[in-house]
């Protein structure tokens, strides 16, 4: 049988990496099959196995040679696979990036008249709640919601989306020195600071970008449940006060009152 020069074999492998990979796989498979055949040919007697296995498979030269061959071919196969996978992933990423459609903006720009109409309808829905709408910056609306004689809420809106809420006591000042709504300073009372935190959580709960009017109406319905902030007991412990505070949490579905620690 005529031997193929090593240089020729190396050129063929460099030109065809998959042929090299196939060769590495066949070499590894051959070594594994030879070991299996040798093990199956040994009788099941433990003493005979010990006598045969030790000089044949347990010799240092045999094990070391097989280990080096397996590591060599496995390393070559791994390198080839990594190169091919990187090429495929790079090409796919390039194609997907070109064909990927542009993201559509989720914020709806609504005319001010529509926003005013939605706010007026909500104001008529709740007699015990009064809503004053103003536009100090031109287009963005700001609401001053007065809930009975319990509290006042400053609502900062962007179109018909609520950005920020600040809850203060009924007798607290909600205006700055120049007569504008104070959207930065928090309440001086801990109970209304708690309600402000819960209102921020409610904004994250009521999310429906395609129907912002429903979100505003749902939030106002939830806010209206604080009309009995100092009169409703906790639905879990039955107490009116806990650590000197009334139940400041309102369930998003049932609107029931809970203390901050009792709702968990």
Mean pLDDT of 104-111: 62
pTM for this one? 0.59
Which pLDDT tens digit goes with each residue over 146-186? 999 999 999 999 888 999 999 999 999 999 999 889 999 99
Are 77 and 21 contacting, i.e. CB atoms less than 8 angstroms apart? yes
Laid out side by side, the sheet with 151-158 consists of: 129-134, 142-147, 151-158, 161-169
Which pLDDT tens digit goes with each residue over 16-62? 554 555 555 565 566 556 555 654 555 555 554 444 444 444 444 44
Which pLDDT tens digit goes with each residue over 191-231? 999 999 999 999 999 988 888 899 999 999 999 999 999 99
Q: Write b or e for each residue in 11-50: b if 16 or more Cβ atoms lie within 10 A of its Cβ, otherwise e.
A: eebeeeeeebbebbeebbeebeeeeeeeeeeeeeeeeeee
Q: How far lies 85's CA from each of 29, 88, 89, 100, in Å?
A: 23, 5, 6, 22
Question: Whose CA is closest to 57, among 81, 44, 40, 73?
Answer: 40
Q: Which residue has the higher pLDDT, 253 or 66?
A: 253
């Amino acid at each position: 049988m005529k031997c193929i020069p090593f240089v020729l074999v190396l050129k063929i492998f460099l030109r065809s990496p998959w042929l090299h990979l196939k060769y590495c796989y066949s070499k590894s498979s051959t070594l594994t099959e030879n070991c299996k055949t040798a093990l199956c040919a040994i009788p099941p007697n433990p003493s005979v196995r010990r006598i045969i296995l030790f000089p044949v498979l347990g010799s240092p030269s045999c094990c070391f040679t097989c280990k080096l061959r397996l590591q060599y071919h496995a390393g070559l196969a791994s390198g080839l696979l990594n190169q091919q996978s990187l090429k495929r992933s790079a090409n796919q990423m390039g194609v997907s990036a070109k064909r990927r459609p542009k993201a559509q903006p989720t914020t709806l720009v609504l005319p001010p008249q529509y926003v005013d109409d939605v706010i007026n309808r909500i104001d008529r829905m709740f007699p015990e709640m009064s809503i004053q709408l103003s536009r100090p910056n031109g287009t963005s609306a700001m609401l001053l919601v007065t809930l009975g004689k319990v509290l006042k809420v400053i609502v900062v809106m962007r179109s018909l989306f609520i950005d920020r809420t600040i809850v203060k006591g009924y007798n607290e000042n909600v205006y700055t020195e120049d007569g504008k709504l104070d959207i930065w300073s928090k309440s001086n009372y801990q109970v209304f600071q708690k309600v402000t935190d819960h209102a921020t959580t409610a904004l994250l709960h009521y999310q429906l970008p395609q129907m912002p009017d429903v979100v505003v109406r749902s939030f106002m319905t939830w806010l209206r449940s604080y009309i009995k902030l100092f009169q409703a007991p906790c639905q879990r412990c039955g107490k009116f006060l806990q650590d000197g505070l009334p139940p400041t949490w309102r369930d998003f579905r049932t609107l029931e009152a809970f203390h901050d620690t009792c709702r968990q």
